[in-house]
A = this chain, B = another copy of it.
Amino acid sequence: MAKQKRDAEATKAKILASAITLFSKNGFDATTGDDIAKESGFNKALIYYYFKNKAGLYGSVMSTLFDSIYKEVIDSKKCCDSATAELRAFIETYAGYAQKQPYFPALLLRELSDSGTHLPEMMFESMRRLFVLLSDILRKGEEEGVFKKSIPMVLHFMIVGTLNLLVTTQQLRAKAAKEDTQIDTCSDCPMDEIAEYIFTTIKTALEVK
């Protein structure tokens, strides 16, 4: 019955993938069970068979995404030794992920705006781990004597929040630029340049003169 089992896994994965797409694009409220069923090609009742309910499915979506980004960030860290290099890797990796999964930032921001209404404990944990990673980098930098004392939480949002907002507002900014050519909304800036700019800004502010 190995085949049977594998099919079940595949089905579940298909539903999850469809849910990621739709929740990301339209948010929790604006995504219906019918939408997910249609997108996945399976029956609506099957969602409940595999995921208890809509909130449960949403939780799985978020966990999946957070696990994935956490893994990328922690992997990237391995390759560096100095705190400064690790900081750059952190920012670049997050920026890269946000670009690869451009809907993730919207999901995250929405979730934060809702104070984690739909957010299961486990996902909350994932967010925290990411912050701990940055905190460690900053502390290491202080110990190395290259970073000033900082407020990690604020810097975390200055990095992660800014990246998320830039990705999420991509369309809005393009629209604004088109309507008013006087202002520069950075709508054509490549993501790696933005990441580099954020890194430089933070690094400069942190540097011990």
Contact = CB atoms under 8 A, between A and B. Distances in A.
Query: Which bucket holds chain A's interface residue count?
Result: 35 or more
Contact of A153 (B105, B135, B155, B173): B173
A161 B165 contact: yes
A171 interface: yes
Contacts of A152: 184, 186
Contacts of A155: 201
Contacts of A29: 27, 29-30
Contact of A27 (B114, B158, B194): B114
Contact of A194 (B107, B151, B169): B151
Interface stretch (A51-59, A64-72, A124-132): A124-132
A145 interface: no
A48 interface: no
Contact of A154 (B106, B110, B157, B194): B194
Nearest to A116: B172
A157 B161 contact: yes
Contacts of A8: none
14 contacts: A27-B29, A27-B113, A112-B172, A113-B113, A115-B171, A116-B172, A135-B183, A151-B194, A153-B173, A154-B166, A154-B186, A157-B165, A157-B166, A201-B205
